[in-house]
Amino acid sequence: MVSPRIPLVVDTDVGTDDAVALVLALRDPRVEVVAVTAVAGNTSLHNVVQNALYTVEISGAGVPVHPGAARPLLRELATAAEIHGGDGLGDIGLPLRDRIPSPEPAVEALLRAAREHRGELVVVTLAPLTNVALACLTDPDFARSVRRCVMMGGTGRGPGNVTPVAEFNIWVDPEAAAIVFRSGLHITMVGWDVCQADATFSEEELESLRELGTPLAQFCVGIQQVSRRRAITEGRTEGICIPDPLAMAVALDPTLVTESRRLAVAVETRGAVTSGQTVVDHLRVTGLAPNCEVVLRADRGRFMDLVRGALL
Residue closer to Ca ion (CB basis): 122 or 264: 122
Report the sign of the C-alpha dihedral through residues 121, 192, 22, 252, in that order. negative
The answer to the question of residue 15 lying near ligand RIB (CB under 6 A) is yes
By CB under 6 A, name the one of 6, 8, 18, 269 that touches ligand RIB.
18
Residue closer to ligand RIB (CB basis): 109 or 152: 152
Residue closer to Ca ion (CB basis): 250 or 263: 250
By CB under 6 A, name the one of 28, 87, 167, 198 that touches ligand RIB.
167
Min dist. Cβ of residue 161 to ligand RIB (A): 5
Q: Per CB under 6 A, which region of 15-23, 63-71, 181-189, 223-231 contacts ligand RIB?
A: 15-23
Quick note: the x/- pattern for ligand RIB over 182-201, rule CB under 6 A, is ----------x---------
230-233 LR contacts (CB < 8 Å, sep 24+): 230/82, 230/83
Per-residue 3-state assignment (H helix, E strand, C coil) for the chain: CCCCCEEEEEEECCCHHHHHHHHHHHCCCCEEEEEEEECCCCCCHHHHHHHHHHHHHHCCCCCCEEECCCCCCCCCCCCCHHHHCCCCCCCCCCCCCCCCCCCCCHHHHHHHHHHHCCCCCEEEECCCCHHHHHHHHHCCHHHHHCCEEEEECCCCCCCCCCCCCECHHHHHCHHHHHHHHCCCCCEEEECHHHHHHHCEECHHHHHHHHCCCCHHHHHHHHCCHHHHHHHHHCCCCCCEECCHHHHHHHHHCHHHEEEEEEECEEECCCCCCCCCEEEECCCCCCCCCCCEEEEEEECHHHHHHHHHHHHC
By CB under 6 A, name the one of 38, 47, 135, 168 that touches ligand RIB.
168
The answer to the question of residue 38 lying near Ca ion (CB under 5 A) is no
| Residue with the shortest CB distance to ligand RIB | 168
Q: Which residues inside 39-58 make contact with ligand RIB, applying CB under 6 A?
A: 41-42
Quick note: the x/- pattern for Ca ion over 240-279, rule CB under 5 A, is ----x-----------------------------------
Residue closer to Ca ion (CB basis): 38 or 221: 38
By CB under 5 A, name the one of 11, 18, 167, 268 that touches Ca ion.
18
The answer to the question of residue 11 lying near Ca ion (CB under 5 A) is no
The answer to the question of residue 127 lying near Ca ion (CB under 5 A) is yes
Q: Which residues inside 208-247 make contact with Ca ion, applying CB under 5 A?
A: 244
User: Which residues of this chain interact with ligand RIB, rule CB under 6 A?
Assistant: 13, 15, 17-18, 41-42, 126-127, 152, 161, 167-169, 192, 243-244
